[in-house]
Amino acid sequence: MRRVWGILLLLAVMAALGFRRWGEGAAAVLAAGNQALNLGMTLMGGMMVWGGLMAILQESGAMGPVSRWVRRLLQPLVRRELSEESWAAMGMNLAANLLGLGNAATPFGIRAAQLLAGQGESGLRGLLVLLVINNSGLELMPSSVMTLRQQAGSIAPGAIWLPTLAATGISTLVAVVLLCWTDRREKRG
């Protein structure tokens, strides 16, 4: 990951130099810090509110039902014991993602990642499953894309709904298959 970053950064600078986009390139560099702060502020806002609500859930000891359904769903992939709190955070993350509430999903995902990181090898396994499922783009209703299509004057903004659902399903399926397949190879090797 870290080497990928350095290589891409170098290539991006070389492209900017080669295309003589020096001014734009320099401006992008100077703006990057500000953009990171803006995005961070948005994230922090969400993390304060959802983190606070999540703490109430934790304090009241009502984590059980939330963690149970996601556990039932993901246990065949995780196959390790994880704390109830981390299952609950994963469940909230998954639910928010499915509903397309990205601003709520990220704080829960981050919380889950932190909780999982403190649980040794089984936690890292849970984190791998969480990331792979997250990255396969599960979402029931791609509302931001449909809104964009409507604004662009599409005659049927919703026409992409079923293909999108199918595509995200296929990508999740491929992710699960790959995970199981590499598990087997690792066990053998």
Partner 1 sequence: MDSVAAALVLGTVGGMALLGLWKGGGGYEAFLRGARDGLHTGVEILPALAAMMLLIGLIRVGGLAEVLEGLLGPLAEAVGFPREALTVLLLRPLSGAGSLAALEALMVTQGPDTRASMVGAVVVGSSETIFYTLTVYLSAAGVKKLPRALSISLISWLAGCLAAAWLC
Minimum Å gap between C-beta 132 and partner 1 is 5
Instruction: List the one residue from 70, 77, 94, 104 that touches partner 1 (CB under 8 A).
Output: 104
Nearer to partner 1, 10 or 72 (CB): 10
First-to-last C-alpha distance (Å) of the chain? 24
Is residue 54 classed exposed, middle or buried when 0-12, 13-18 and 19+ CB atoms within 10 A define those classes? buried
Nearer to partner 1, 72 or 102 (CB): 102
Instruction: List the one residue from 121, 153, 188, 189 that touches partner 1 (CB under 8 A).
Output: 153
Amino acid at residue number 32: A
180 lines the binding site for partner 1 (CB under 8 A): no
77-96 footprint of partner 1 as x/- string (CB under 8 A): --------------------
160 lines the binding site for partner 1 (CB under 8 A): yes
Question: Please, what's the b/e burial string for 167-189 (b: 16 or more CB within 10 A of its CB; e: otherwise)?
Answer: ebeeebeebbeeeeeeeeeeeee
Please report, as residue ranges, which positions from 43 to 72 form the binding site for partner 1 (by CB under 8 A): 43-44, 46-62
Instruction: List the one residue from 77, 91, 100, 187 that touches partner 1 (CB under 8 A).
Output: 100
Please give the C-alpha separations between residue 17 and each of 7, 21, 24, 163, 172, in angstroms, as whole numbers.
15, 6, 10, 40, 39
Nearer to partner 1, 72 or 135 (CB): 135
Q: Which two tokens stand for residue 81?
A: 């014991």
Minimum Å gap between C-beta 143 and partner 1 is 6
Question: Please, what's the b/e burial string for 91-105 (b: 16 or more CB within 10 A of its CB; e: otherwise)?
Answer: bbbbbbbeebbeebb
Instruction: List the one residue from 152, 187, 188, 189 that touches partner 1 (CB under 8 A).
Output: 152
